Amino acid sequence: MQIQLHPASGRGAVRTFFLDEGRQRAAIALAAALVLLAGSLWVTVPLVIARLQRAGEALQFARELEGQRSERERAVALARSLRERALEQGDLLNRIAFLYALPPEQWPRILNPERALPSESELDRTAGSLELYLRGLERGRGLLASREQEGGDLAARVPAIVPVPRSLFEPSAFFGPRTSPWTGEDEFFVGVDLAAPEGSPVSAAGGGVVAFAGTVRRAAAGWFSRLGNVVVVSHASSGVTIYGHLAQIAVHRGDRVARGTRLGTVGATGWAISAMLHWEYWRAEGAALVPTNPLFATLDSRLGPRLSVEEMSATSAPGPLDPIPGVQIAADQALDRQPASPRAVRHPRHRRKI
């Protein structure tokens, strides 16, 4: 095979190449390889480019999906926070309504705990329910504000705090039926016991007048004679609070006290096996006084479950009940002139095991 190369200018010499049979075969093979390579690139390059484009789109989609997932997680966290804050505000208003003796039928039913808000994961339902719940909170606040205007010093006299600093006590006995550790018989415990270090300060849960301060004669009021050193504070129409097992008494009958006034110190007088405060709250129902769970009357901390105004208003101890010294029986008749020793302790009766 002969190959000639002619210069474009026409002045240069013509170059001639001679290919023998071996070189011809090599040239043909090279040409074929180049053709195959060109065809392969023609097909594969667009496929590679398309694949890269799809990979980029998938990566962008994954990023968008992750962003949406993060956005939803933030929305769920916000919904959870708003839900808990709303429920806490509702619980607080329920307890204030109970202390203000608002009729349950006048209270917004949406604030009842049994009508709980939807789960925070149900964003659409939660958003709509929160709006209705907030309207209930605003209506509740309006009712409480009206009651405060009608009641004068109502907000100052209702028992609204735990008498012992929260960091110092643990509840050791609760309001309700139990087996008496002293007699082994079934009884209804009409208050709560707060175990605390001896000498811890005991403060008035609300404003009022000291109706009794001292130890109670057994003949006058049997149950209260077990409480050793006792202070009874009358909160006028907002009821009565009772503080027992005190080591020392810092007030006298007739003293006017405000919420937070020091009444005495935690002790173990009367029927107590260790230092504790026995605390009772007797709520006015018409002309009568009935003991109810004092943990309902705590606005500075929630120690019990969330309950509706109706449930709290319906909670009381069954009778018959001993008269309250200084309130239902004259203080002079109830007062034991011999003060209880701070160490006067009776030990509970243990039933014989069979």
**Model confidence pLDDT, tens digit, residues 302-327:** 777 889 999 999 999 998 899 999 99
- Determine contact, residues 202/159, Cβ cutoff 8 Å: no
Task: Give the sign of the dihedral formed by CA 113, CA 116, CA 117, CA 121.
Answer: positive
β-pairing, 176-179 with 186-189? Answer: antiparallel
Say if residue 165's pLDDT is above 60.
yes
Residue 348 has a pLDDT of 60
Across the chain, what does the average pLDDT equal? Answer: 84
Confidence of residue 349 (pLDDT cuts 50, 70, 90): low
- Range of weakest confidence among 120-134, 251-265, 320-334, 335-349: 335-349
CATH of domain 157-336: 2.70.70.10
Sort residue 130 into left (φ over 0), alpha (ψ -120 to 50) or beta.
Answer: alpha
Model pTM? 0.76
> What residue ranges do the domains of the chain occupy?
157-336
Running DSSP on this structure, what letter comes out for residue 326?
A: T
Residue 129 has a pLDDT of 78
- Determine contact, residues 97/140, Cβ cutoff 8 Å: yes
User: What confidence tens digit (pLDDT) does each residue in 61-90 have?
Assistant: 777 777 777 777 777 777 778 778 888 899
User: What confidence tens digit (pLDDT) does each residue in 12-61 have?
Assistant: 666 665 656 666 677 667 777 766 766 666 667 677 677 777 777 777 77
- For the chain, what percent of residues have pLDDT higher than 90? 48
182-207 as b/e: b if 16+ CB within 10 A: eeeeeeebbbbbbbbeeebbbbbbbb
